[in-house]
A and B are shown apart, each in its own frame.
Chain A
Amino acid sequence: MKLLQADDIHKHYGGAQALRGASLSVRGGEVHALVGENGAGKSTLARILAGSTRADSGRILIDEQPVTIATPRDAQRLGIGIIYQELDLFRHLTVAENLVTGSVELQGRRMDEFCRPFLDAVGLDCSPRRMVSTLSIGQMQLVAIARALSTNAQLILMDEPTSALFEDAAERLFALIAGLKRRGVAIVYVSHKMDEIFRLSDRVTVLRDGMTVGSVETARTRPASVIHMMIGRDLEAEQREPRTSGEVVLSVDRLSTAKLRGVSFHLRRGEVLGVAGLVGSGRSELGAALFGMDRVTGGAIHQSGTLGLVPEDRRYQGLMMQMSVAENGTLAVLPRMQTAGFVKRRRERREMERVGRQLGLHCRSLDDAVSTLSGGNQQKVLLARWLLANPDVLFLDDPARGIDVGAKEDIYRAIDRLARGGKGVILVSSELPELVRCCDRILVLCEGRVTAMFSAAEATQEKIMAAATNAGDAN
């Protein structure tokens, strides 16, 4: 019996098409894995079903009846609960207050009594009066699940629930999911970790580029074929002029931080080192650690030059959106473009124009606010900042994410030129073809550890994906 059926769901954010005809069919009481690469549209689909985002078009049926899910309240009424990756709890309220939000009649002991069965159901052994902010992430997740149960949810969506959990907490979650399933609650489990998917799920639906590629019985497939469905076509071999690499400019020895566990590698001048890994694998934290933004708890970093970092989130970590193209580009090098504290504006323009040409930057005027540019051109402005700063090592965190194909090519060329100019480049990317195309070597991170290191010649998308999802553990 079909509990939920979603057909031909479309959704766009600005110019980006997040979903273009996704579908999902969930049976009562099953654990259904929803998988796909970063940006495939998994979370968007989950949010639409939970009523926190509205679809542009599409059809949703619950128990074969067409329904409209416009708000989270609609979803609740229809028996759909969601556990967000970032856990939308009120941290400064108690556990019980989080469970009963919305019904003010319950107070004091009656509130505790109301909560008890749901807390028992998820196996959370703490006072309902405890402040949520004092709980561990794993316990908070249990509170969120208890809250979903308290609204009588027949279907619970879990968006990458283990991404913030340590192993023992993840084990407890898996046991809980099995328990929920026995009670007849269906779970949609959004993830891209192969080991978990094959352990937990009855069926798998694969999304790619906002479309549903297919659904299969988990028992009748293998991690390798699911991965193949996720990444689609095989990569045609790109020809790249060979580069020669020089002396070691950066070496990292057993580096540990809150998110990294004993990461070691070295980087030579003239080399592009790729870093593959899923979101949350520690790949961005590697940059933060190298740049001194995260506290290093162990290991050592030896560098024989300066380091530049193009952060992952250009909007929040990179650009000053209200400032102009030129101002953003030259921000890191103003000390060398000044006399007596005054900016040499002519020189600023000249250098910015030069770098802009190199990168194929399109803007009406260098005085335009960066916020008026397209994503690709914004990324080029950020890249221009570091080309001008001219560091020996450049850490690029997913620089081609979410930008159009032409701009991507411009960025790949810039990376190649940097390496040929004797720089060491570290390129983090979610897109495996991009890594294979740009890099000399590819390091794979999973849960803060280096799980593989491939040369460009031996790297394939399947091998990288397997190392990044720890698929080895599932077999």
Chain B
Amino acid sequence: MIPRRAQSLAALTGIVILAIAISPVAGDGSRVFLQLGNLTDILRQISLIGMIALAMTFVILTGGIDLSVGSILALATAVTAMVLTRVAPGMSYGPHILLAIAAAVAVAGITGVLNGAVVATLRIQPFIVTLASMIGVRGLAKWITRNENIDIGFGQDVAAQFATVFREKAIVIGAYACAAAMFWLMLARTVFGRHVRAIGDNEKAAQYAGLPIRRTKLWVYTISGLLSGVAGVLYAAENHQGNPNAGVAYELDAIAAVVIGGTPLSGGRGSISGTIVGSLIMGVLTNMLRLKNVDSNLEMMIKAVIIVLAVAVQRERESA
């Protein structure tokens, strides 16, 4: 029997080989897919949703779900851009940028706390709680921006400086890598990670064992909010704007990455490495199809098939 983790890794390897095989050939005879620039492009493209997927893994491990991540990301892009362009014009660049990031991440974190508090104390299903906040937070983002994009210019002002720095590939990929390492450690090595898995595996037994169920759930949703906030900051830099309509359907891409990585929606079992592989599979697939100029609608259909196949393969192994 192939371990679950190796399964998704095998799937990734297969897709990479396919991508190399069908890749267009550049003028110098090399495969475009394998060019360093292309490979780092893939990593950069998966970084934001990949980050959200890391936190989503924790949420799903507890048996929950967080649908509000895309809306929280949008709110964070809006807060970042507003603080940079409208708040404290006289401030020096360094502190101003830090303030903007802190504000955006804090607002996102608070939203996460609210999700967590409602899930943990009112015991309403996470799907419903975060569906509500997906709608409500999107409304909030649109309301504070009057439903307009807040542009971050290309000049020499603080906002432009922020964008220049934080859209660097190295920064974006570095942030994702750091987050991945932290989440891996958290799940594999800490008491918190144990509690997360235990609660998702058997909440009744966790209650009998005296585990801090409420506190753990509160943290899981808070972390999900925080990571969506960080992703929002990076999104604002990359796109040079605060955009209240950003991140639509990101929650679904993040959930897809988690389940392709072998974490079932029922919780209790799963891994951060699986989620990273899941994100990479989605990223390589998108890249491969775009290099071949495949219609983006067709791309969605192909992704749909891949998601179902990936999960079906894992189920089969389970029952065998």
Contact = CB atoms under 8 A, between A and B. Distances in A.
Genuine A/B complex = yes
A332 B209 contact: yes
Interface of A: 291, 293, 309, 311, 316-323, 327, 331-332, 334-335, 338, 341-343, 345, 385
Given A322-B201, A323-B197, A317 B191 contact: no
Contacts of B210: 332
Interface in B194-219: 194-195, 197-198, 201-202, 204-211
B140 to A, nearest CB: 33
Contact of B204 (A316, A327, A334, A345): A316
Contacts of A316: 202, 204-205
B58 to A, nearest CB: 15
B194 A319 contact: no
Contacts, number: 64
Contacts of B190: 338, 341-343
A320 to B, nearest CB: 4
A293 B268 CA distance: 23
A317 B201 CA distance: 11
Contacts of B208: 291, 293, 309, 311, 317-318
Given A331-B209, A331-B211, A385-B209, A343 B202 contact: no
Given A316-B202, A327-B194, A343-B190, A322 B207 contact: no
Q: Main SS of the interface on chain B? A: helix
A323 B189 CA distance: 14
A336 to B, nearest CB: 10
Given A293-B207, A331-B209, A321 B194 contact: no
B169 interface: no
Nearest to A318: B205
Contacts of A338: 190-191
A16 to B, nearest CB: 21
Contacts of B206: 320, 331
A293 B204 CA distance: 10
Interface residues of B, number: 20
Contacts of B192: 341
A323 B191 contact: no
B191 A322 contact: no
A322 B208 CA distance: 17
A322 B263 CA distance: 12
Select the residue from B189, B205, B211 with max chain A CB neighbours within 10 A.
B205
Contacts of B204: 316-317
Nearest to A327: B194
Contacts of A342: 189-191
B207 A320 contact: no
A317 B204 CA distance: 5
24 contacts: A293-B207, A309-B208, A311-B205, A311-B208, A317-B202, A319-B202, A319-B205, A320-B198, A320-B202, A322-B197, A322-B269, A323-B201, A331-B209, A332-B209, A332-B210, A332-B211, A334-B195, A335-B191, A338-B190, A341-B190, A341-B192, A342-B191, A343-B189, A343-B191
Given A341-B191, A343-B190, A343-B191, A321 B211 contact: no
Contacts of B205: 311, 316-320
A339 to B, nearest CB: 10
Interface string B134-146: 0000000000000
Contacts of B201: 320-323
Cβ-closest 4 pairs across A and B = A320-B201, A322-B269, A334-B191, A332-B209
Nearest to B186: A341
A310 B189 CA distance: 26
Given A323-B268, A335-B191, 8 more contacts: A293-B208, A311-B208, A318-B205, A320-B268, A332-B209, A332-B211, A334-B191, A342-B189
Residue among B198, B204, B211, B269 facing the most chain A CB atoms (10 A cut-off): B198
Contact of A334 (B194, B202, B207, B268): B194
A129 to B, nearest CB: 30
B209 A323 contact: no
B309 to A, nearest CB: 23
A208 B4 CA distance: 44
A331 B202 contact: no
